[in-house]
Amino acid sequence: MTDDSARDLAESRGVETHVYQPAEDSGLLATAVVERGRGWLLEVGTGSGWVAERAATDAPEVDAVVASDLNPHACRAARARAVDAVSDGDGSEAPAFEVVRGSLVEPFADGAFDTVAFNPPYLPTDPDNEWDDWMERALSGGESGRELVDPFLDSVGRVLAPDGVVLLLVSSLTGYDEVLEHAADCGFAHEVVVEESYPFETLTVVALRSDAR
């Protein structure tokens, strides 16, 4: 079977091929966001928008939520979720959160957010096995697993308000120590918010704050 016919079959059976659906990693990030999110919150790489909805509806210290993704299918799914999340869901009320299409924090102004949350694509992927679709963009962190995490850490400080916090999901598959070393090089101190171990990986959400405070 060709890749295209496999995809057609998956689509005709309603199997999601374009948008990452909530999984254990999403659940851990949502727990951290509800516990630690505050003020204006940006969720980078929102996928289905499920974490952003939790931030908008369940996080007591969060005032407003913006969700972003590079994937246009994800942006559409997240926008539909944001509309459905308000009481009548017919579009007459403001959506529960705003959705912006763009890469990492590029679309956003300096110092705009008190909290930035990210569950990045993190699986180390052999370049010969890249599969080149939106699901690859959701899952693959390139050869090292850190091809999105590193540029995110390099740029996120720009959009953080003074005293802002980053909530970043890190997998042991991506290299926990390497990610935290890069975060330290970018001027962040870290603290573990929540951690779970599974048969093949340990997932940790770290809170990162500028260590220049």
Ligand X SMILES: C[S@@+](CC[C@H](N)C(=O)[O-])C[C@H]1O[C@@H](n2cnc3c(N)ncnc32)[C@H](O)[C@@H]1O
Give me the residues that bind ligand X (CB under 6 A), please.
20, 22, 25-26, 29, 44-47, 50-51, 68-71, 74, 103-104, 119-121, 137-138, 148
Name the residue nearer to ligand X (CB basis): 99 or 104: 104
Helix H, strand E, coil C: the string for the chain is CCHHHHHHHHHHCCCCCCCCCCCHHHHHHHHHHHHHCCEEEEEECCCCCHHHHHHHHHCCCEEEEEEEECCHHHHHHHHHHHHHCCCCCCCCCCCCCEEEECCCCCCCCCCCEEEEEECCCCECCCHHHCCCCHHHHHHECCCCCCCCHHHHHHHHHHHEEEEEEEEEEEECCCCHHHHHHHHHHCCEEEEEEEEEECCCCEEEEEEEEECCC
Name the residue nearer to ligand X (CB basis): 91 or 131: 131
Name the residue nearer to ligand X (CB basis): 32 or 44: 44
Name the residue nearer to ligand X (CB basis): 68 or 125: 68
To ligand X, the closest distance from the beta carbon of 90 in angstroms equals 26
To ligand X, the closest distance from the beta carbon of 147 in angstroms equals 9
To ligand X, the closest distance from the beta carbon of 19 in angstroms equals 7
To ligand X, the closest distance from the beta carbon of 212 in angstroms equals 26
